[in-house]
Structure 1
Amino acid sequence: MLKHVMDVLDLLDDPRADGKRVVAHLDSLAGPEGSGAEVTTVEGARGSTDFVRVVVRGAQGRSRGGSARTLGVVGRLGGVGARPEMTGLVSDADGAAAALATAAKLLDMRRKGDVLPGDVVIATHICPDAPTAPHDPVPFMDSPVDIATMNRHEVTGEMEAVLSIDTTKGNRIINHKGLALSPTVKEGWVLRVSEQLGELLAVVTGEPLVTYPVTTQDITPYGNGAHHINSILQPSTATRAPVVGLAITSAAAVPGCQTGASHETDIAAAARFAVETAKAYGAGRLNFHDAREFDALVHRYGSLTHLQTLGNAPSKP
């Protein structure tokens, strides 16, 4: 996996980085079947970005008419670079690098004959010159497009569960270098941490499970004026599927726009976890949440889907 990460970082750490180059790389790994990757360039108020989406078809996947479940892997970020303000690959690029390394590994596995049961849909975007934004305690990377646009291109109806990977270093909440797992979020509910995902993460990293707190405001859409830890759980505002955030973390607060702050081994661990999750989820051996428990909560307390919207406008003083 580390080799795939290094190859992807080589592509992203370039002022000319774009979706076409990434797709060409994935096609080279996929063999005769091709990667099936799609690139969509979207113009925003502050520039453009290339959305890349890859569907790795499983042996019994929905795309073949099978019954195996489909996992979504979203690499969430503002941009892979902040040129001209910063020169080089920024810390915020880790989510994209992990998602694309996941796609590369799965396509390479499929070419060699190791085909997963279910489909895996991997999506992220590539922008080498994204803007930055003020944020406490350290500056964030911004994006040339808004979060709703990201969700439209990165969160699809085929995804029956979503693993969202994002650099989550710009805070004083997760004082740990490596990976941290969020509770499961579904339709406005913050559910308990999936024990199965937690056990799998501990196996993949070889370390005790680390989780992090998720507040109600973290799972509301950007644009409502509330503070968010970052965009890692924004996919949960655009789907009914359960969403879990896999945070690539640091022991100190690191700005998302900082260069020289990406750790290749942590990105590789995140990608390995995504691959192992895809194997187990498609085979029906792992769940993101307890469906019966969720249904009982909704029956007892009602729907919280209003938290997936921008809600009511603030009243005028």
Structure 2
Amino acid sequence: MRTVEGDKGSTDFVSVTVPGRRGKLGGGHAPTLGILGRLGGVGARPERIGLVSDADGAVAALSAAAKLLDMHARGDVLDGDVTLSTHVSGWAPTQPHDPVPFMDSPVDTLTCNREEISPAMDAVVSIDTTKGNRLLNHRGVALSPTVCQGWILRVSEDLVAVLESVTGESARILPITTQDITPYGNGVHHLNSILQPAVATTAPVVGLAITAGSAVAGCATGASHETDIAVAARFAVETAKEFGRGVARFLDPEEFARLVELYGPMTHLQALTPAG
């Protein structure tokens, strides 16, 4: 854990790495999965008292870390390494946002990405509360398309299969736009920060959104649903199992290479001020 001071306060970054039996930490070649809990803060004191809705991503990531550590201690070791990261602040600010207020973060997004993302990650699952919109009105979880190096790619069929197995329901897909995958601070509207990790890595990133049937403010208290958080944590754990053993793919590497060959790189969308 590391405490980081920002312009709007401080927050504690927490990172846990669970080694795999064939992971890179042990000299193996199994891929490494990153699981990130994204949020502004778990609390908005003194404006609001209690756990805010925006905390769900952090709670899910920490729950997944606890489960994987317990499994490892009992001998249920995954093939690949898994790194789980988030931050925890009970005194985060809020900010206006349409249609409902967001939680702000004590530190900026660049700092979050620097603290939470590792070059060792071969793919990333970003878990974030995504209730403050009218685009997906369903209580539960939803999967985003894969985002890689500025490209919005097709939804991973492998991850859809994992999600449907975990929920026992048809998968919900989170609609995203090009501007949602650009860096914060460029003056355009973003759905939320769920895909901000994609601006800071060359690895494929998917968002796992914890959603609601109505627009719920990120700073609302009493709005978290333990069952939905548990589903998100279980999806993260099951994805880690399948990704580490090479079964679940976030993208088709040949298809991605063909897109870049035909239309060129889209990495300029990862930069706040692209050169040109």
Normalising to structure 2: TM-score of the pair?
A: 0.99
Say whether residues 1:184 and 2:141 are aligned partners: no
Q: Secondary structure at the match of 2:239?
A: helix
Displacement, 1:213? 1.1
Say whether residues 1:239 and 2:201 are aligned partners: yes
Displacement, 1:311? 2.6
Query: Could you report, residue by residue, the CA deviation over 1:78-136 in whole angstroms, capped at 9, with x for unpaired residues?
Result: 00000000000000000000000000000000111100000000000000010000000
Say whether residues 1:162 and 2:124 are aligned partners: yes
Distance 2:257 2:78 in 1: 29
Q: Which runs of 4+ in 1 moved over 2 A?
A: none
Aligned positions of 1:195-214 closer than 5 A: 195-214=157-176
Q: Secondary structure at the match of 1:246?
A: strand
Distance 1:183 1:92 in 2: 21
2:3 match: 41
Distance 2:273 2:205 in 1: 21
Distance 2:226 2:120 in 1: 30
Displacement, 1:312? 5.1
Distance 2:125 2:251 in 1: 13
Displacement, 1:268? 0.3
Which one of 212, 216, 230 corresponds to residue 268 of structure 1? Answer: 230
1:280 aligned partner, one-letter code: E
Which one of 38, 56, 64 corresponds to residue 76 of structure 1? Answer: 38
Distance 2:242 2:66 in 1: 18
- Paired residues of 2:268 and 2:274 also in contact (CA < 8 A): no
Distance 1:277 1:212 in 2: 18
Q: Secondary structure at the match of 2:190?
A: coil
Identity of aligned residues (%): 67
Say whether residues 1:55 and 2:28 are aligned partners: no
Q: Secondary structure at the match of 2:219?
A: coil
Q: Could you list the runs of 5+ residues in structure 1 that have no partner in the other structure?
A: 1-38
2:82 match: 120
Aligned residue pairs, count:
275
2:146 aligned partner, one-letter code: T
Distance 2:249 2:120 in 1: 16
Say whether residues 1:293 and 2:255 are aligned partners: yes
Say whether residues 1:97 and 2:38 are aligned partners: no
Query: Could you report, residue by residue, the CA deviation over 1:164-217 in whole angstroms, capped at 9, with x for unpaired residues?
Result: 000000000011100000000000000000011011101100010100211000
Which one of 256, 263, 269 corresponds to residue 307 of structure 1? Answer: 269
Normalising to structure 1: TM-score of the pair?
A: 0.86
Distance 1:212 1:87 in 2: 30
Q: Could you list the runs of 5+ residues in structure 2 that have no partner in the other structure?
A: none
Q: RMSD across aligned C-alpha pairs, in angstroms?
A: 0.8
Distance 2:78 2:110 in 1: 31
1:5 match: none
- Which structure is higher in helix share? 1
Query: Could you report, residue by residue, the CA deviation over 1:287-313 in whole angstroms, capped at 9, with x for unpaired residues?
Result: 000000000000000000000001359
Distance 2:8 2:155 in 1: 37
1:239 aligned partner, one-letter code: T
